[in-house]
Amino acid sequence: MRKFALPLLAWWLATAFPALADRLVVATEGAYPPFNYHDEQGRLTGFDVDIALALCRAMAAECELVAEEWDKLLDGLEQGRFDLVVASMARTPARAERADFSEYYYRTHSMFAGQANRHADVSPQTLAGLRLATGVDTIQAEFLQQRYRQSHILLARSQEEALAWLAEGKVDLVLSDSINLLSFLQSPAGSPFDYVGEPLADEILQAEARIAVAKGRRALLERINKAITTIRLNGSYDHINRQYIPFSVY
């Protein structure tokens, strides 16, 4: 996972020079396709990235995109290294204590992926003793730890790593966002696998992705919410949606 010194530089510039106060540092993970990932040239791309850029245009803000490890994104907000996080993050009670969240900008569901012919039933009783993987500090991790206590839960640094474990035979099933799984299942590494079971309905698995800002930055949050409405109305959102996902996620 890549880490950059640029967020700190951008923060210093905005603090030292008021003229640059509308320069925003936008953080994402860069390891969660098709939402955020690095292309073959190492550039950040994906649904989250394009949405972030569209929101910046709607806010008339100059934005710098940076990648950070998933479990350090909220740390960066609290430390003032980032202005906002656009990384397919759901609002949870624990996260809401550390950051404020926008209106949702997409909805989805969580599902298992694996050998569909082996694991049609995904109830906790049926999956007892199996190796289940997901990313650390995610709603899927919380769900597995609370609902699948008789299974072996393995937490990866990212969902991308969890899916690599599945491809390598290190785990039996991976729990992730259904659209993130679709990107994997359509890849060469994911071709032997499929969705397993039905989309999971549980209060833990909130299905709304939101943008996070530091606690108390209400003016910025209001601008973001207005910008979400703007890109929904001007067609930018639908255009980005079609580029990455074959159905509406709003």
Query: Does residue 72 lie within any of the structural domains?
Result: yes
Query: Does residue 63 lie within any of the structural domains?
Result: yes
**Count of CB atoms situated within 10 Å of the CB of 238:** 13
Query: Does residue 196 lie within any of the structural domains?
Result: yes
Q: How far apart are CA 72 and CA 15, in angstroms?
A: 22
For residue 16, the model assigns a pLDDT of 43
Domain CATH code at residue 83: 3.40.190.10
Q: Are residues 35 and 148 in the same domain?
A: no
Q: Are residues 211 and 91 in the same domain?
A: yes
pLDDT digits (tens, 9 = 90+) for 48-58: 999 999 999 99
Which residues does 58 contact at the CB level (< 8 Å), separation at least 6? Answer: 226, 227, 230, 231, 234, 236
Number of domains in the chain: 2
pLDDT digits (tens, 9 = 90+) for 203-238: 899 779 999 999 999 999 999 999 999 999 999 999
Q: Are residues 117 and 79 in the same domain?
A: no
Q: Are residues 132 and 185 in the same domain?
A: yes
Query: Does residue 1 lie within any of the structural domains?
Result: no
Domain span at 156: 110-200
Which residues does 151 contact at the CB level (< 8 Å), separation at least 6? Answer: 124, 127, 128, 129, 130, 131, 132, 144
* Phi, psi dihedral angles at 215 (to 5 degrees): -55, 135
For residue 23, the model assigns a pLDDT of 94
Q: Are residues 100 and 221 in the same domain?
A: yes
Q: How far apart are CA 203 and CA 160, in angstroms?
A: 24
Which structure tokens are listed for 114?
A: 């694996």
The answer to whether the CB of 74 falls within 8 A of the CB of 99 is yes
Fill in the DSSP letter of residue 20: G
Q: Are residues 129 and 237 in the same domain?
A: no
Q: How far apart are CA 114 and CA 66, in angstroms?
A: 32
Query: Does residue 25 lie within any of the structural domains?
Result: yes
Q: Are residues 30 and 71 in the same domain?
A: yes
Q: How far apart are CA 233 and CA 250, in angstroms?
A: 12
Which residues does 167 contact at the CB level (< 8 Å), separation at least 6? Answer: 189, 190, 193
Q: Where do runs of H (alpha helix) occur along the chain?
A: 6-16, 47-58, 73-78, 93-96, 139-147, 159-167, 178-185, 218-233, 236-244
Q: Are residues 99 and 117 in the same domain?
A: no
Q: Are residues 182 and 61 in the same domain?
A: no
**Count of CB atoms situated within 10 Å of the CB of 219:** 9
Query: Does residue 250 lie within any of the structural domains?
Result: no
Q: Are residues 115 and 100 in the same domain?
A: no
Q: Are residues 121 and 101 in the same domain?
A: no
Residue ranges of the chain whose pLDDT lies below 50: 1-21
Q: Are residues 23 and 64 in the same domain?
A: yes
* Phi, psi dihedral angles at 178 (to 5 degrees): -60, -30
